[in-house]
Amino acid sequence: MPQLDQDTAEHKTAHGDGPSGAEVDGAIGGLDALDAPDAGPQRSRGRRIAAAVLPPIGAAVLFIAIWQAVWAAAWVPEHRLPSPLTIGEVFWGLVETGQVWELLWTSVHRAVIGFIIALAIATPLGLLLARVRIVRAAIGPLVSGLQSLPSVAWVPAAVIWFGLTDASIYMVVLLGAVPSIANGLVAGIDQIPPILPRVGKVMGAGSLANARHILLPAALPGYLAGMKQGWAFSWRSLMAAELIASSPELGDGLGQFLHNGMSLFDMPMVITGILLILVVGVGIELLVFAPLEKVTLNARGLRKS
């Protein structure tokens, strides 16, 4: 027969605080061991990398195989659907002449500079929107609305204001990226459990210390998601701007390359351009944002690794 309450009562200390110290000591340790969440079985590093890398490679191979088969069937004229090999040759030509680096540099450095300016504008804007009620009431809907306005729509206005210059291009990039980043930060701050700033206040944090130690780190996942989307918007706005506002003074970026391909009716060039744009977008996402996001979410236990 297990012990009943009457029996254990004898173990109580003079203060009537239930089980004795030694009992609690053992029991606490046991509970901790039983209750602590299990990290789960860890797969080896090699297998994890294989599991991440092999499926996309398989998908790419399958895609190229289908493409090759469709091309070989000759359903579509060659000038509309070139073979994968032709694209490979055009690409290799770009690499051999070094033109590919010029194209990438022109576009990527524009996108990065545009993104950094966007970040510098969007961060204070997002903080204001999230924390100052009147600002939010006044321009909150506008900023959300701007996010759904395709930034290509700004290209004509930008060209009329600034002509075919870098300024036009940056304006289009900023109008694409700033609303996304600001909205991401606002969402991140809105999702902070209200108990956390209260805890800060109870511990004697002023509003600055609260922002620095609690609000900003707590909003980081949402902010990062906004940055990621902001980068995607920068990149696609830039391509739209380069494609439409193409002129010799602006130098040769990927958008101009694509535009030239269209003018020359050169399908291999057009497809190569599209692939390069895709590669840069995916590459930045994988090399910059994915690791940042992984670290942030893992630290908060928001993600099963």
Partner 1 sequence: MAIALENAVQTEVAVRLEDLHKVFGTGRQAVTALDGIDLAVRPGEFVCLVGASGCGKTTLLNLIAGLEQPSSGRITLTTSRPAVMFQEHALMPWLTVHRNIELPLRLAGVGRAERAAKVEELLSLVRLEGTGRKRPHELSGGMRQRVALARSLASAVQGSADGKHALMLMDEPFSALDAITRDLLQAELLRVWRATGTAVVFVTHDVREAVRLGQRVVLLSSRPGRVVDEWDVDGLTGSDESAAVDTIGAKLREVISTHAAA
Which of 118, 171, 214, 269 forms a contact with partner 1 (CB under 8 A)?
214
> Residue 28, interface with partner 1 (CB under 8 A)?
yes
> Residue 32, interface with partner 1 (CB under 8 A)?
yes
Site for partner 1 in 215-254 (CB under 8 A): 217-218, 220
Strand (E) or helix (H) holding 167? helix 166-190
Angle among Cα 199, 203, 209 to the nearest 5 degrees reads 90
Name the residue nearer to partner 1 (CB basis): 160 or 208. Answer: 208
> Residue 21, interface with partner 1 (CB under 8 A)?
yes
> Residue 288 gets which letter from DSSP?
I
Name the residue nearer to partner 1 (CB basis): 113 or 205. Answer: 205
Shortest CA distance to 118 belongs to which of 93, 148, 136, 143? 143
Q: How many residues bind partner 1 (CB under 8 A)?
A: 43
> Residue 250 gets which letter from DSSP?
G
> Residue 202, interface with partner 1 (CB under 8 A)?
yes
Q: Which residue has the tokens 């809105």?
A: 190
> Residue 41, interface with partner 1 (CB under 8 A)?
no
Shortest CB 212 distance to partner 1, Å: 10
> Residue 187, interface with partner 1 (CB under 8 A)?
no
Shortest CB 28 distance to partner 1, Å: 6
In order of 87, 238, 251, 270, the CA distances from 256 in angstroms are 18, 11, 8, 10
Q: How many CB atoms lie within 10 A of CB 38?
A: 5
Name the residue nearer to partner 1 (CB basis): 33 or 52. Answer: 33
Name the residue nearer to partner 1 (CB basis): 36 or 287. Answer: 36
Name the residue nearer to partner 1 (CB basis): 139 or 297. Answer: 297
Buried b / exposed e along 200-233 (16+ C-beta atoms within 10 A): beeeebeeeebbeebbbbbbbbbbbbbbbbbbbb
The four Cα atoms 293, 298, 299, 300 give a dihedral, to 10 degrees, of 90
> Residue 211, interface with partner 1 (CB under 8 A)?
no
Length of the chain: 305
Binding site for partner 1 (CB under 8 A): 9, 12, 14-19, 21, 24-25, 27-29, 31-32, 34-37, 39, 193, 195-196, 198-205, 209, 213-214, 217-218, 220, 296, 299-302
